Every structure is written in C-alpha cells, then in structure tokens.
Amino acid sequence: MTGRLQGKATIITGAGSGIGRASALLFAREGARVLIADRAEDGLNETLRLIADAGHAASALTIDAGSEPDVARLVDTAIHEFGRIDVVYANAGISGGLTPLFDVTVDMFAEILRINLIGPFLAIQKAAPHMINQGGGSIVCTASVAGLRANAGGAPYSASKAGVISLVQTSANALIGTGVRVNAICPGLIETGMTKPIFDHARARGTDSKIGQLNPLGRAGAPNEIAAMALFLASDESSYVNGQAFPVDGGLSSTHPFARPRT
C-alpha cells in the first residue's frame, strides 16, 4: 500500500519542534519527499534524526520564515532538489505570550505579524507560481482558534492568525482555475514548545487536570492531531477542499463561554 503523499514534494516550515516536527514525521512516513525549515538549527537537526530513525529521508534548511530572501531560497532549494513543489505547509509561528494590550509595543506587534502573517503570505507568493505551472498543488497554513474569537491569545497573535484566515480565503480566490488549493488549520490548545510555559505553570501548581477544560473533550491536544489534519489537506483526499479554515480544538470554538455544571 502506497502512502497518502507518495512521491509528493513537500515543504514544511517551523519543523524544528511541535506541530511542524510531527507533520514532517507523518509526511515522510506517508511517502513524501520532505524539505523542512526552521530558524532553530538544533531543532531541525533533531527532526532530521527522528525522520532518519524512522527509516525515511529528508533535507533541511535554516531560514527565517518571515524573510523574503529566505523564503525565496527555500522554494528555490525545493525546486532544485525535487523539480517541483506539490505541498507547502506554512506552519512557522511565534506567540508573543499574553502581554496585556497596553503593554504591547509596536515593534512586538510588527514582529509577530512578520512571522505569523507575512510568513504564510511569502510561502504562497513564492510557491504558487511553480504549482500553477505544474497544474496544481496544496498550500496549508497554520492559523489558530485565536483568529476566530477572543480570549485564546494575546492581541498581536490573535490579529496575526485572523489575518492568516483571511489570507487563505483571498489567496484561494486569487488562484481561481489554477488547481492550487489554499487552506488553514486553526489549532486549539496544543502542547508544543510555544505553549510549554502554560503547561509547566499548571503542572507546578498541580492544576494540570484542568488544562483544556473549556472544550467539550476536556483536554489539550497533541501535535500529531494537528499533523493528521495537515496530512489530509496536503493529500489528494482533500481535492475539493479550498479556501477554508478548520478548527482542530476539541470543540472549543463550537460554543460560547459557559459555566460547567458542578459534579
């Protein structure tokens, strides 16, 4: 049985840890040719090691996902190595923490937008022409439930992820008739390097059993659960899915806030 991405040339950014690493491992296992990217070289090397330990191969490039020259170099490298690009997963992002609104500086806001929103824009802009020339492709971007409603992240992070959702919608329509699909994933609370302080704080206080209590599943998510959605959107199984943003959040975004009954 062939893998769901057998032979597909893929790029994954933010692959040095968390969701990006889980996606790189899954994509490689499903037969993809994988080029991973991150600005953390140590993390990239660890992801490469894990892929190799699983019996697969990948290549890596250290880049800043919000830098136009770096993203252009990443796309050029993929074309040089693979001859085409079938999938781009623009996953790299930063949180900025939960800095109160009036303490957020313009520089902080701009840097979060640069990585989280300009990064996916650059990935789409640089990769889509190659996909158009070859007759199609799939671009997946990591947004967030924080881009859907308030109180799931700080103001700059939430604004950046709302921007990603809009970017996906407008890009899908800008690429009408090309065969290039653009979709987003909106993770809920997932245990990654970005969210580690939240989990560490809860465990230190002995309140880790309450992590994820606001969603109907009553738990946090794992990176591999987001990677599974990325795999679907990257694969031909989602060939009629375009311009959408999919929450993967245990049901968090399905409700308005409410008080749970005491048990």
Residues catalogued as catalytic:
157
Distance of CA 95 to the CA centre of its chain: 13
**What is the C-alpha separation between 44 and 126, in angstroms, rounded?**
22
Token pair of 48 as six digits: 């490469």
Token pair of 39 as six digits: 């600005």
What spatial distance separates the first Cα and last Cα of the chain, rounded to whole Å? 48
Q: Which of 168, 196, 202 is nearest to 182 (CA)?
A: 168
- Cβ atoms of 214 and 252 within 8 Å: the answer is yes
**What is the C-alpha separation between 112 and 53, in angstroms, rounded?**
34
